[in-house]
Amino acid sequence: MVKVIKEEFAVIGKEGSTSDGDGFIQKLWDDANGHFSEVAHLAKRDSNGGIVGIWGAMSDISRSFKPWEDRFSKGLYLAGVECVDHAEAPDGWTKWTIPGYEYIVVENHSGAFEETLGQMKEEGISLVGAVHDYTDPATGKGYLYFPIREV
């Protein structure tokens, strides 16, 4: 388990809720990817001009970035791109400003969520916020970010 500190950051994306039904996350990604040109200019970029991150950000229904409720079955999801802090979301897009946390970061694979929660429980580490999906645009690898401490 790798621990990283990530200061507050902003994501612009397509927002949906578990109440939208099965497959809603894939529909959000299809929508976001299909209209990416509308927000590409707002994406935060590294020194080589590459996009910093693609996020599947999550929050509880109250938008306070707490974990999904009812055994992680009820919450909000934002399929989007990390953006410059002052960016304004265009029509049809939503901007979330995610608080700074110390995260446990693990490579995303089948079972990674449950395994990491189990390991955290064994070590007495509490989840203090919603877990986020992160895709590294440079490698295409997916990671899960488990917030364990506010910064």
Question: Which domain CATH number covers 135?
Answer: 3.20.80.10
Name beta bridge partners: 147: 103
Residue 115: domain span: 2-150
Q: Token pair of 76, please?
A: 């909000």
Which contacts of 86-90 are long-range, i.e. CB under 8 A and separated by 24 or more positions? 87/10, 87/12, 87/42, 89/12, 89/39, 90/12, 90/38, 90/39
Average pLDDT for the chain: 97
Q: How confident is the model at residue 69 (pLDDT cuts 50, 70, 90)?
A: very high
**Tally of domains in the chain:** 1
Q: Calculate mean pLDDT across residues 62-71.
A: 94
Per-residue model confidence (pLDDT) at position 1: 80
> pLDDT tens digits, residue range 38-49?
999 999 999 999
